[in-house]
Structure 1
């Protein structure tokens, strides 16, 4: 008798396999093999790989949602920093996690409640509704881009790509001392780099979007 499968089982299997094979190796055929079914059986649930990626991203968000919400009474800076750190940590838990998560469409409205809360906190802190939306979109895209870069340095969680060896890079760049030092900043302490960039982004948000005139 054929194994019974549903969307949730396929998605959970795909997320588990992601750490083994990465985004490039994650195919419907590979997932079907893991589930011991024929590949066409998956097409009852997902028309193509993009539909599956959309559901995987949505499930990733569902799993991080319980940790996203800030402490009671938190201001916009605390709420924003907390949420983006949660997102970053969650995506780093999956091989190619940021590539899967970015550029996909959520398959349900589960994101609406936390988003509404983040926007409410921001508006109550002095942002216009448009400014609040732009602020959250900006810090989210910073986080997505940063984690994509992180996961090129560490394509498998806990393993560093030898291509990012700083000594080798320094020898290759030779007489470009500033470029060599930049590599140490880009690819050295990735946690500290994220926090430094986050502070810069949030300072820019405060300077350009908080109580921005002309937005109502």
Structure 2
């Protein structure tokens, strides 16, 4: 019988496996030992490619960025800055939602290459051409970026989990616990329901604030 050949272990294979396994086990369950078991190798073999889990998470976030920038659907058409700004942030959220705990993986990551730079340069150039100073353009972009990542982290933590079949936060039980605080009780039905609408309303508020405070 011919022995079964296993793929050569390299950084790309480890990252692809980690992103696939992430959807099964979530970030808390994504250990180097679990990834090694999926690859049928010993955990120390992974340390040839990544010094620790954070280094792996940085590469995972970078690969998510590469996939996003390679997808024409996530490249907004050049046009008026407001529409392009909104489309860019919506595209980021869409990509993060492709992965279980995707926003947590992405948050705070240090990209391992400059695949993000061309898109960022184009976004900042569009803003400066619209009248933002370079500093204001950077602040405007980062504000929307931070809002999108933060919102998506909460959405993935509190909303329905399509990867695990979880229906999300029990809003009726929450309302019962907060019966003595009716405004707080009712707020849950706004904050933890219809995340698409909530994101759009928040993003509109971000855009209005940026235009009012940063645009020269």
Q: Which band: TM-score by shorter chain?
A: over 0.9
Q: Find out whether 1:46 has 2:50 as its counterpart.
A: yes
Coordinate RMSD, CA, aligned: 1.5
Which residue number in structure 1 is paired with residue 111 of structure 2?
106
Which residue number in structure 2 is paired with residue 11 of structure 1?
15
Which residue number in structure 1 is paired with residue 31 of structure 2?
27
Gaps of 5+ in 1: 212-216
- Give how far 1:166 is off: 1.5
- Give how far 1:175 is off: 2.4
Q: Find out whether 1:190 has 2:195 as its counterpart.
A: yes
- 1:75–1:112 distance in 2 versus 1, CA, 3 Å: same
Instruction: After TM superposition, list the pairs within 5 Å mapping 1:56-95 onto structure 2.
Output: 56-65=60-69, 66=71, 67-72=73-78, 74-95=79-100
Counterpart-to-counterpart distance in 2, 1:137 and 1:175: 39
Contact 1:2 1:37 in 2 (8 A): no
| Greater than 3 Å deviation, 4+ residue runs | 158-162
Q: Find out whether 1:138 has 2:143 as its counterpart.
A: yes
Counterpart-to-counterpart distance in 2, 1:167 and 1:6: 48
TM-score (norm 2): 0.92
Contact 2:58 2:111 in 1 (8 A): yes
Counterpart-to-counterpart distance in 2, 1:155 and 1:52: 27
3-state SS in 2 of match to 1:80? helix
- 1:168–1:32 distance in 2 versus 1, CA, 3 Å: same
Counterpart-to-counterpart distance in 1, 2:197 and 2:166: 17
Counterpart-to-counterpart distance in 2, 1:3 and 1:64: 26
Counterpart-to-counterpart distance in 1, 2:104 and 2:173: 27
Counterpart-to-counterpart distance in 1, 2:189 and 2:119: 36
Counterpart-to-counterpart distance in 1, 2:6 and 2:63: 25
TM-score (norm 1): 0.92
